Amino acid sequence: MIGESNQWQPVRIGIVGAGAFGQVHVATVRHLAEAQLTAVVDRDHTKLRDMPSAVGGWTDLESALAADVADAWIVACTTAQHVPVTERLLQAGATVLLEKPLALDLEEAERLAPLVRPGSANLMLGHVLLFNSEFRALQKELTGRGQIRLISCYRMRAATLLSLYPGESPFHLTMVHDLYCVQTLMDGRDPVTMTAQQGRSQDGAVDLALAQLRWEDGALATFTSGLVTPAGLPDQGFDRMEVFGQGWTARLLPNPRPIQLWDDKARSPLQTEILADASGATGMLAEEQRSFCRVVRGQQSVPIGARYEDAMQLMRWLDQLERLAEG
Protein backbone atom coordinates (compact mmCIF):
# COMPACT_ATOMS: atom_id res chain seq x y z
CA MET A 1 0.00 0.00 0.00
CA ILE A 2 1.37 3.44 -0.89
CA GLY A 3 1.72 6.26 1.63
CA GLU A 4 -1.19 8.47 2.69
CA SER A 5 0.43 11.57 1.19
CA ASN A 6 0.38 9.92 -2.27
CA GLN A 7 -3.24 8.74 -2.19
CA TRP A 8 -4.16 10.76 -5.26
CA GLN A 9 -0.93 10.39 -7.21
CA PRO A 10 -0.90 7.86 -10.09
CA VAL A 11 0.18 4.44 -8.87
CA ARG A 12 3.60 3.57 -10.27
CA ILE A 13 3.13 0.18 -11.94
CA GLY A 14 5.68 -2.28 -13.29
CA ILE A 15 4.79 -5.22 -15.53
CA VAL A 16 6.60 -8.55 -15.61
CA GLY A 17 6.13 -10.26 -18.97
CA ALA A 18 5.85 -8.48 -22.32
CA GLY A 19 4.26 -11.31 -24.27
CA ALA A 20 0.86 -11.17 -25.95
CA PHE A 21 -1.26 -10.37 -22.89
CA GLY A 22 1.54 -8.48 -21.17
CA GLN A 23 1.47 -6.05 -24.09
CA VAL A 24 -2.28 -5.61 -23.61
CA HIS A 25 -1.62 -4.71 -19.97
CA VAL A 26 1.08 -2.26 -21.11
CA ALA A 27 -1.30 -0.54 -23.55
CA THR A 28 -4.02 -0.27 -20.91
CA VAL A 29 -1.88 1.00 -18.02
CA ARG A 30 -0.41 3.69 -20.27
CA HIS A 31 -3.87 5.22 -20.77
CA LEU A 32 -5.11 5.09 -17.19
CA ALA A 33 -5.22 8.36 -15.27
CA GLU A 34 -4.92 6.34 -12.05
CA ALA A 35 -1.63 4.68 -13.04
CA GLN A 36 1.80 5.43 -14.43
CA LEU A 37 3.70 2.70 -16.26
CA THR A 38 7.27 2.90 -14.94
CA ALA A 39 8.84 -0.48 -15.67
CA VAL A 40 8.58 -3.53 -17.91
CA VAL A 41 10.58 -6.70 -17.26
CA ASP A 42 11.07 -9.45 -19.84
CA ARG A 43 13.96 -11.84 -20.39
CA ASP A 44 13.70 -11.21 -24.14
CA HIS A 45 15.26 -7.78 -24.68
CA THR A 46 13.72 -7.48 -28.15
CA LYS A 47 10.28 -7.10 -26.54
CA LEU A 48 11.48 -3.98 -24.72
CA ARG A 49 12.57 -2.04 -27.81
CA ASP A 50 9.28 -0.29 -28.46
CA MET A 51 8.65 0.87 -24.90
CA PRO A 52 8.36 4.67 -24.40
CA SER A 53 11.55 6.34 -23.18
CA ALA A 54 9.90 7.18 -19.84
CA VAL A 55 9.37 3.47 -19.16
CA GLY A 56 12.34 1.55 -17.81
CA GLY A 57 13.06 -1.80 -19.43
CA TRP A 58 14.85 -4.64 -17.64
CA THR A 59 15.71 -8.21 -18.57
CA ASP A 60 15.93 -9.30 -14.93
CA LEU A 61 13.58 -8.63 -12.03
CA GLU A 62 16.23 -8.06 -9.38
CA SER A 63 17.64 -5.04 -11.22
CA ALA A 64 14.16 -3.55 -11.55
CA LEU A 65 13.47 -4.06 -7.84
CA ALA A 66 16.80 -2.49 -6.92
CA ALA A 67 15.86 0.60 -8.94
CA ASP A 68 12.71 1.02 -6.79
CA VAL A 69 10.65 2.36 -9.69
CA ALA A 70 7.24 0.80 -8.96
CA ASP A 71 4.70 0.80 -6.13
CA ALA A 72 2.94 -2.28 -7.50
CA TRP A 73 3.44 -4.95 -10.14
CA ILE A 74 1.36 -6.81 -12.71
CA VAL A 75 2.62 -10.35 -13.35
CA ALA A 76 1.78 -11.44 -16.90
CA CYS A 77 4.61 -13.86 -17.66
CA THR A 78 4.25 -17.58 -18.41
CA THR A 79 2.26 -19.68 -15.94
CA ALA A 80 5.42 -21.60 -15.01
CA GLN A 81 6.91 -18.33 -13.71
CA HIS A 82 3.81 -17.03 -11.90
CA VAL A 83 4.70 -18.33 -8.43
CA PRO A 84 8.49 -17.66 -8.45
CA VAL A 85 8.02 -14.11 -9.72
CA THR A 86 5.08 -13.31 -7.42
CA GLU A 87 6.92 -14.86 -4.46
CA ARG A 88 9.88 -12.54 -5.04
CA LEU A 89 7.67 -9.46 -5.44
CA LEU A 90 5.71 -10.20 -2.25
CA GLN A 91 8.98 -10.76 -0.39
CA ALA A 92 10.05 -7.30 -1.58
CA GLY A 93 6.89 -5.79 -0.08
CA ALA A 94 5.09 -5.13 -3.37
CA THR A 95 1.37 -5.38 -4.08
CA VAL A 96 0.75 -7.71 -7.02
CA LEU A 97 -1.92 -8.24 -9.68
CA LEU A 98 -1.27 -11.80 -10.88
CA GLU A 99 -2.70 -13.06 -14.14
CA LYS A 100 -4.66 -16.31 -14.08
CA PRO A 101 -4.10 -19.13 -13.45
CA LEU A 102 -2.48 -18.76 -10.04
CA ALA A 103 0.01 -21.57 -10.66
CA LEU A 104 0.70 -24.73 -12.60
CA ASP A 105 -0.60 -26.89 -9.76
CA LEU A 106 -2.03 -26.75 -6.25
CA GLU A 107 1.20 -27.60 -4.44
CA GLU A 108 3.06 -24.74 -6.13
CA ALA A 109 0.21 -22.30 -5.44
CA GLU A 110 0.41 -23.05 -1.71
CA ARG A 111 3.95 -21.60 -1.60
CA LEU A 112 2.49 -18.09 -1.63
CA ALA A 113 0.30 -18.59 1.46
CA PRO A 114 2.87 -17.36 4.05
CA LEU A 115 3.40 -14.14 2.07
CA VAL A 116 -0.23 -13.16 1.47
CA ARG A 117 -1.65 -10.65 3.95
CA PRO A 118 -5.13 -11.02 5.51
CA GLY A 119 -7.90 -10.34 3.03
CA SER A 120 -5.37 -10.94 0.23
CA ALA A 121 -4.52 -7.24 0.65
CA ASN A 122 -1.23 -7.55 -1.25
CA LEU A 123 -2.30 -10.06 -3.93
CA MET A 124 -5.11 -9.71 -6.45
CA LEU A 125 -5.83 -12.27 -9.17
CA GLY A 126 -6.43 -11.20 -12.75
CA HIS A 127 -9.91 -12.69 -13.01
CA VAL A 128 -10.79 -10.13 -15.63
CA LEU A 129 -14.32 -11.32 -16.50
CA LEU A 130 -15.46 -10.25 -13.03
CA PHE A 131 -15.08 -6.71 -14.41
CA ASN A 132 -16.91 -7.39 -17.67
CA SER A 133 -19.87 -5.01 -17.92
CA GLU A 134 -22.27 -7.73 -19.09
CA PHE A 135 -21.27 -10.12 -16.30
CA ARG A 136 -21.74 -7.37 -13.73
CA ALA A 137 -25.19 -6.68 -15.18
CA LEU A 138 -25.97 -10.40 -14.97
CA GLN A 139 -24.96 -10.49 -11.29
CA LYS A 140 -27.22 -7.53 -10.57
CA GLU A 141 -30.17 -9.06 -12.44
CA LEU A 142 -29.84 -12.37 -10.57
CA THR A 143 -30.01 -10.69 -7.15
CA GLY A 144 -33.21 -11.73 -5.41
CA ARG A 145 -34.36 -14.12 -8.14
CA GLY A 146 -33.96 -17.21 -6.00
CA GLN A 147 -32.06 -20.43 -6.42
CA ILE A 148 -29.97 -21.08 -9.51
CA ARG A 149 -30.80 -24.49 -10.99
CA LEU A 150 -28.38 -24.68 -13.92
CA ILE A 151 -25.46 -22.72 -15.33
CA SER A 152 -24.25 -23.72 -18.79
CA CYS A 153 -20.89 -22.37 -19.98
CA TYR A 154 -19.40 -22.68 -23.46
CA ARG A 155 -15.98 -21.27 -24.41
CA MET A 156 -14.12 -22.10 -27.62
CA ARG A 157 -10.82 -20.81 -28.94
CA ALA A 158 -8.59 -21.35 -31.98
CA ALA A 159 -6.67 -24.61 -32.38
CA THR A 160 -3.58 -22.48 -33.12
CA LEU A 161 -3.39 -21.56 -29.42
CA LEU A 162 -2.06 -25.06 -28.72
CA SER A 163 1.29 -24.05 -30.19
CA LEU A 164 1.32 -20.69 -28.38
CA TYR A 165 0.69 -22.27 -24.97
CA PRO A 166 2.44 -25.66 -25.07
CA GLY A 167 1.62 -27.95 -22.18
CA GLU A 168 -1.44 -25.97 -21.02
CA SER A 169 -4.86 -27.60 -21.26
CA PRO A 170 -8.25 -25.94 -21.82
CA PHE A 171 -9.00 -26.49 -18.13
CA HIS A 172 -6.37 -23.93 -17.08
CA LEU A 173 -6.27 -21.82 -20.24
CA THR A 174 -9.95 -21.19 -20.99
CA MET A 175 -12.39 -23.03 -18.70
CA VAL A 176 -10.82 -21.26 -15.71
CA HIS A 177 -12.67 -18.06 -16.71
CA ASP A 178 -16.05 -19.76 -16.51
CA LEU A 179 -15.10 -21.52 -13.29
CA TYR A 180 -14.33 -18.31 -11.41
CA CYS A 181 -17.49 -16.65 -12.77
CA VAL A 182 -19.59 -19.61 -11.57
CA GLN A 183 -17.67 -19.62 -8.28
CA THR A 184 -18.81 -16.02 -7.76
CA LEU A 185 -22.43 -16.69 -8.80
CA MET A 186 -22.54 -19.63 -6.36
CA ASP A 187 -21.22 -17.44 -3.49
CA GLY A 188 -17.98 -19.38 -3.21
CA ARG A 189 -19.65 -22.65 -2.16
CA ASP A 190 -17.82 -25.86 -2.98
CA PRO A 191 -19.66 -28.38 -5.16
CA VAL A 192 -20.37 -31.81 -3.66
CA THR A 193 -19.64 -33.77 -6.84
CA MET A 194 -17.57 -33.22 -9.98
CA THR A 195 -17.17 -35.11 -13.26
CA ALA A 196 -14.82 -34.32 -16.13
CA GLN A 197 -13.68 -35.57 -19.52
CA GLN A 198 -11.09 -34.44 -22.01
CA GLY A 199 -10.27 -34.93 -25.70
CA ARG A 200 -6.96 -34.87 -27.51
CA SER A 201 -5.84 -33.53 -30.88
CA GLN A 202 -4.21 -35.71 -33.53
CA ASP A 203 -0.87 -34.71 -32.02
CA GLY A 204 -1.95 -35.94 -28.59
CA ALA A 205 -2.39 -32.52 -26.93
CA VAL A 206 -5.44 -31.98 -24.71
CA ASP A 207 -7.61 -29.60 -26.75
CA LEU A 208 -11.11 -30.26 -25.38
CA ALA A 209 -12.38 -30.20 -21.79
CA LEU A 210 -15.83 -30.94 -20.38
CA ALA A 211 -16.93 -30.75 -16.75
CA GLN A 212 -20.03 -30.90 -14.57
CA LEU A 213 -20.32 -29.62 -10.99
CA ARG A 214 -23.24 -30.24 -8.62
CA TRP A 215 -23.97 -28.40 -5.37
CA GLU A 216 -25.74 -29.64 -2.25
CA ASP A 217 -28.94 -27.74 -3.11
CA GLY A 218 -29.13 -29.54 -6.47
CA ALA A 219 -27.75 -26.73 -8.62
CA LEU A 220 -25.70 -27.86 -11.61
CA ALA A 221 -23.05 -26.19 -13.76
CA THR A 222 -21.78 -27.60 -17.05
CA PHE A 223 -18.64 -26.45 -18.86
CA THR A 224 -17.45 -27.04 -22.43
CA SER A 225 -14.12 -25.52 -23.35
CA GLY A 226 -11.76 -26.19 -26.20
CA LEU A 227 -8.97 -25.10 -28.50
CA VAL A 228 -10.58 -26.52 -31.61
CA THR A 229 -11.97 -23.74 -33.85
CA PRO A 230 -10.49 -23.77 -37.39
CA ALA A 231 -8.48 -21.11 -39.17
CA GLY A 232 -11.60 -19.74 -40.87
CA LEU A 233 -12.96 -18.42 -37.56
CA PRO A 234 -11.55 -15.41 -35.66
CA ASP A 235 -8.84 -16.35 -33.14
CA GLN A 236 -10.86 -15.13 -30.17
CA GLY A 237 -13.50 -17.82 -30.78
CA PHE A 238 -16.87 -17.48 -29.08
CA ASP A 239 -18.34 -17.70 -25.57
CA ARG A 240 -21.77 -18.23 -24.05
CA MET A 241 -23.19 -18.50 -20.54
CA GLU A 242 -26.79 -19.35 -19.69
CA VAL A 243 -28.29 -19.35 -16.19
CA PHE A 244 -31.60 -21.06 -15.39
CA GLY A 245 -33.76 -20.61 -12.29
CA GLN A 246 -37.36 -21.31 -11.38
CA GLY A 247 -39.37 -19.34 -13.94
CA TRP A 248 -36.45 -17.32 -15.32
CA THR A 249 -33.45 -17.66 -17.65
CA ALA A 250 -30.53 -15.34 -18.40
CA ARG A 251 -28.11 -15.52 -21.32
CA LEU A 252 -24.71 -13.84 -21.59
CA LEU A 253 -22.99 -13.55 -24.99
CA PRO A 254 -19.80 -11.62 -24.22
CA ASN A 255 -17.69 -12.78 -27.16
CA PRO A 256 -17.38 -11.93 -30.00
CA ARG A 257 -17.74 -8.27 -29.11
CA PRO A 258 -20.41 -6.10 -30.80
CA ILE A 259 -17.76 -4.46 -33.00
CA GLN A 260 -15.58 -6.58 -35.27
CA LEU A 261 -13.22 -5.73 -38.12
CA TRP A 262 -12.02 -7.60 -41.18
CA ASP A 263 -9.19 -6.75 -43.55
CA ASP A 264 -6.51 -9.32 -44.39
CA LYS A 265 -7.91 -11.40 -41.51
CA ALA A 266 -10.65 -11.29 -38.90
CA ARG A 267 -9.89 -8.92 -36.03
CA SER A 268 -11.58 -8.03 -32.76
CA PRO A 269 -10.76 -4.47 -31.67
CA LEU A 270 -12.92 -4.84 -28.55
CA GLN A 271 -11.83 -8.38 -27.72
CA THR A 272 -10.89 -7.32 -24.20
CA GLU A 273 -13.09 -4.21 -24.16
CA ILE A 274 -10.10 -1.90 -24.43
CA LEU A 275 -10.31 1.51 -26.05
CA ALA A 276 -6.81 2.88 -25.55
CA ASP A 277 -6.95 6.44 -26.85
CA ALA A 278 -6.55 10.01 -25.68
CA SER A 279 -9.84 9.88 -23.79
CA GLY A 280 -8.52 7.11 -21.55
CA ALA A 281 -8.82 3.34 -21.45
CA THR A 282 -12.17 1.74 -20.78
CA GLY A 283 -13.49 -1.79 -20.59
CA MET A 284 -13.01 -4.76 -18.30
CA LEU A 285 -9.21 -4.84 -18.24
CA ALA A 286 -9.08 -1.13 -17.48
CA GLU A 287 -11.68 -1.59 -14.74
CA GLU A 288 -9.63 -4.42 -13.26
CA GLN A 289 -6.53 -2.21 -13.25
CA ARG A 290 -8.45 0.69 -11.70
CA SER A 291 -9.68 -1.65 -8.97
CA PHE A 292 -6.08 -2.78 -8.43
CA CYS A 293 -4.94 0.85 -8.07
CA ARG A 294 -7.57 1.40 -5.37
CA VAL A 295 -6.34 -1.73 -3.59
CA VAL A 296 -2.75 -0.43 -3.72
CA ARG A 297 -3.89 2.91 -2.27
CA GLY A 298 -5.81 1.14 0.50
CA GLN A 299 -9.12 2.58 -0.76
CA GLN A 300 -10.82 -0.79 -1.23
CA SER A 301 -10.40 -4.48 -0.49
CA VAL A 302 -9.54 -7.03 -3.15
CA PRO A 303 -12.89 -7.95 -4.79
CA ILE A 304 -14.51 -11.27 -3.91
CA GLY A 305 -13.54 -13.73 -6.61
CA ALA A 306 -10.10 -12.16 -7.09
CA ARG A 307 -8.60 -12.96 -3.66
CA TYR A 308 -5.87 -15.52 -3.03
CA GLU A 309 -8.30 -17.73 -1.11
CA ASP A 310 -10.71 -17.65 -4.09
CA ALA A 311 -7.88 -18.60 -6.44
CA MET A 312 -6.83 -21.45 -4.14
CA GLN A 313 -10.38 -22.81 -4.13
CA LEU A 314 -10.32 -22.58 -7.92
CA MET A 315 -6.98 -24.42 -8.03
CA ARG A 316 -8.49 -27.24 -5.95
CA TRP A 317 -11.39 -27.48 -8.41
CA LEU A 318 -9.03 -27.53 -11.39
CA ASP A 319 -6.77 -30.09 -9.75
CA GLN A 320 -9.69 -32.45 -9.16
CA LEU A 321 -11.20 -31.91 -12.61
CA GLU A 322 -7.93 -32.65 -14.40
CA ARG A 323 -7.38 -35.80 -12.35
CA LEU A 324 -10.92 -36.95 -13.13
CA ALA A 325 -10.47 -36.21 -16.84
CA GLU A 326 -7.24 -38.20 -16.96
CA GLY A 327 -9.26 -41.10 -15.58
Number of separate domains in the chain: 2
Tell me the HSE value of 308 on the side-chain side, using a 13 A CA sphere: 21
pTM tops 0.85, yes or no? yes
Q: Which range, 3-17, 111-125, 229-243, is most confident? A: 111-125
Domain span at 220: 133-272
Residue-wise pLDDT for 306-326, tens only, equals: 999 999 999 999 999 999 999
309 phi, psi to nearest 5 deg: -65, -35
Q: Which of these ranges, 42-56, 180-194, 217-231, has the smallest mean pLDDT? A: 42-56
Is 104 found in the same domain as 19? yes
Structural domain contains residue 74: yes
Structural domain contains residue 258: yes
Q: Which range, 79-88, 136-145, 153-162, is most confident? A: 79-88
Is 57 found in the same domain as 185? no
Is 159 found in the same domain as 137? yes
Q: What is the mean pLDDT of residues 53-77?
A: 94
Is 104 found in the same domain as 18? yes
Closest alpha carbon to 42 in 14, 84, 11, 12: 14
Instruction: Say if CB 196 and CB 210 are below 8 A apart.
Output: yes
Collapsing DSSP states into helix, strand and coil, what is residue 167?
coil
Given a cut of 50, whether residue 272 has pLDDT beyond it is no
Is 215 found in the same domain as 146? yes
Is 295 found in the same domain as 227? no
Handedness of CA 72, 78, 83, 87 (dihedral sign): negative
Q: What is the mean pLDDT of residues 138-167?
A: 89
* CATH classification at residue 257: 3.30.360.10
Is 293 found in the same domain as 202? no
Residue-wise pLDDT for 207-228, tens only, equals: 999 999 999 999 999 999 999 9
* CATH classification at residue 24: 3.40.50.720
